[in-house]
């Protein structure tokens, strides 16, 4: 598999990427002054676990999830979280938070000696089950999204939630093909984690 075709110049408006469906979340805050956005964090999520294609993830990130709609939701009742982006199984990209703001995706975390990864990272959720496989359109969409991000932000690394919160988080897990992402996303100044 060869690298993805070069993305056209990305158009950003106050941290929102043109051409990506917007679904604004209230779950965000300001980044620390002079924060440099140097990390992209790849996550996986499906609600309920293993169920794809519904609107539950969007509802969770916008505080509109019906907690009584499924028994699993009772265990996450009241959770207020978000990510900057969500990539569906078919490759559709959804943005919840301006990348200029701090989304609530990483929790307790550290990367290369820096704690609080939410302060300096962009969170990207892939629709999938922790440890499961991901679809070809998702890899292409993720690589294109990362290409757009490096056009605007001083990204120097891409890592999984499992890399920034080891022992606490396992996503995206062994089903995610980091080597495949490295072949598709070619940016010499950006390191891509390998599990």
Residues classed as catalytic: 125
User: How far, in whole angstroms, is CA 176 from its chain's centroid?
Assistant: 13
Length of the chain: 195
| 3-state SS class at 76 | helix
Long-range contacts of 91-94 (CB under 8 A, 24+ apart): 91/135, 91/137, 91/138, 91/140, 91/141, 92/21, 92/141, 93/17, 93/20, 93/21, 93/141, 93/145, 94/20, 94/21, 94/22, 94/23, 94/58
**Residue at token pair 């089903």:** 175
């Amino acid at each position: 598999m060869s690298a993805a075709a070069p993305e056209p110049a990305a158009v950003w408006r106050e941290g929102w990427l043109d051409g990506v469906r917007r679904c604004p979340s209230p779950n965000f805050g300001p980044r620390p002054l002079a924060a440099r956005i140097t990390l992209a964090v790849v996550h996986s999520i499906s609600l309920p676990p293993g169920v794809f294609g519904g609107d539950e993830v969007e509802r969770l990130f916008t505080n509109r999830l019906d907690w009584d709609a499924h028994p699993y939701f009772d265990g996450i009742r009241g959770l207020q979280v978000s990510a900057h982006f969500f990539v569906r199984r078919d490759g559709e990209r959804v943005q919840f938070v301006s990348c200029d703001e701090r989304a609530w995706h990483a929790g307790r975390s550290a990367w290369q000696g820096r704690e609080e990864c939410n302060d300096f990272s962009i969170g990207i959720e892939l629709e999938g089950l922790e440890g499961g496989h991901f679809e070809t359109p998702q890899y292409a969409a993720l690589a294109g999204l990362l290409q757009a991000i490096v056009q605007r932000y001083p990204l120097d690394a891409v890592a999984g939630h499992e890399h920034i919160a080891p022992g606490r988080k396992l996503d995206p897990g062994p089903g995610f093909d980091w080597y495949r992402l490295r072949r598709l996303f070619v940016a010499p100044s950006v390191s891509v984690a390998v599990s």
